[in-house]
Amino acid sequence: MSRFKKVGLITKLKDLKVSDTLNHVHSRLEALGCEVMLDHSTRGLIGGLITVGLEAIAETCDLAIVIGGDGTMLHTARALIDSDVPIVGVNRGRLGFLVDVSPDSELTQLNEILAGDYMEESRFLLDVEVLREGVVINRVSAFHDIVLRVRDLLRIVEFKTYINGSFVNIQRADGVIVSTPSGSTAYSLSNGGPIVNPTLDAIVLQPICPHTLSSRPLVIGADSDIEIRISDEGIDNGQLVSDGQIYFDIISDDIIHIKRHDNRIRLLHPTSYNYYKLLRAKLHWT
């Protein structure tokens, strides 16, 4: 018997590699008496069944199961952030810092979670607004990071940073990464940033290839209000990127306002989950 009555299934769109696992999980849920809702991403991967949007899963399900990689989890987390639906990640991707349930033939770890034997973790997202001449022109959430850069060119951009209304500095760099603890093992890490335990309420500001040796990553409290202003004249091809998945353009004098999202995502892990064991495995530490 499952502790969860209505379960949503989400996969990477049109990824045939997850089809077997999807069908296996679906059959197991039905055998346990769960009502299953299939996201539109499962179309073509499981035969003859009606699919729904993530909005319906957010409104009606008491569990969401993501089958794929971290990218699918990022997309799902942003879509479900305003609901209280917990998420389980079944790893059919490559790295798997967020999707950590094994898709073994018996679905052992998933069965334990469905029976109520799991470890729950709460993680925050970033809430981002872009203002132009005082008007909000774009709003987006990010589970991993927000990246400011120049689109299509390798060139330096100048920007000013303010934290809680206080001026911090002017930087000239290829851009800046603003990362959650969950995202500290993603792009920020590749750029030399620190690894931050995902349970910490902290935000990392990581310049990308800064034009001064004194520029270093800055770790601040997650309750901080961050403001980044593009101070370069004539920048008409700036770009803001959320989680490496959502892109929109910015120009000179735009203001990027970043803060912790009011809501949090609930992740359910197997009881054997250990963050440092995961780091050792994924980063090939001895």
Q: What is the per-residue DSSP string for 55-99?
A: HHHHHH-SEEEEEE-HHHHHHHHHHHTTS---EEEEE-SSS-SS-
Most confidently modeled range among 14-18, 149-153, 157-161, 221-225: 221-225
Average pLDDT over residues 198-227: 95
Asked if the model's pLDDT at residue 93 lies above 80, the reply is: no
Low-confidence winner among 73-77, 229-233, 260-264 (lowest mean pLDDT): 229-233
On whether both 130 and 257 belong to a single domain, the answer is yes
d(CA 22, CA 66): 9
Residue 171 identity: Q
pLDDT score at 38? 97
**Does the reported pTM lie above 0.85?**
yes
Could you tell me if 138 and 237 lie in one domain? yes
Burial 46-56 (b: 16+ CB within 10 A, else e): beeeebbebee
Q: Are residues 232 and 279 in the same domain?
A: no
Q: Is 70 an annotated catalytic residue?
A: yes
Indicate which CATH number applies to the domain containing 217.
2.60.200.30
Only one residue has tokens 């995902």, namely: 198
Average pLDDT, the chain: 94
Structural domains in the chain (count): 2
Find the helix or strand (DSSP H, E) in which 23 lies: helix 19-31
**CA 236/CA 216 separation, integer angstroms:** 27
Rounded Cα–Cα distance for residues 77 and 184 (Å): 17
pLDDT classification of 131: cutoffs 50, 70, 90: very high
Q: What is the pLDDT of residues 155-184, one digit of tens each?
A: 789 999 999 999 999 999 999 999 999 999
**Residues 150, 257 share a domain:** yes
Residue 247 sits in the same domain as residue 134:
yes
234, pLDDT greater than 80: no
Q: Would you state the pLDDT for residue 94?
A: 74
Same domain, yes or no, for 108 and 152? no
Query: Do 76 and 130 sit in the same domain of this protein?
Result: no
Q: Are residues 232 and 277 in the same domain?
A: no
> Both 132 and 257 in a single domain?
yes
Whether residue 56 sits in one domain with residue 172: no
| Of 39, 70, 127, 174, catalytic | 70
DSSP state of 194: P
Q: Are residues 215 and 230 in the same domain?
A: yes
Q: Which residues contact 35 (CB under 8 A, 6 or more apart)?
A: 5, 6, 7
Is the residue at 1 inside a domain? no
**For residue 188, is it within any domain?**
yes
- Is residue 232 one of the residues assigned to a domain? yes
- Residue-number span of the structural domain to which 44 is assigned: 6-118+270-283
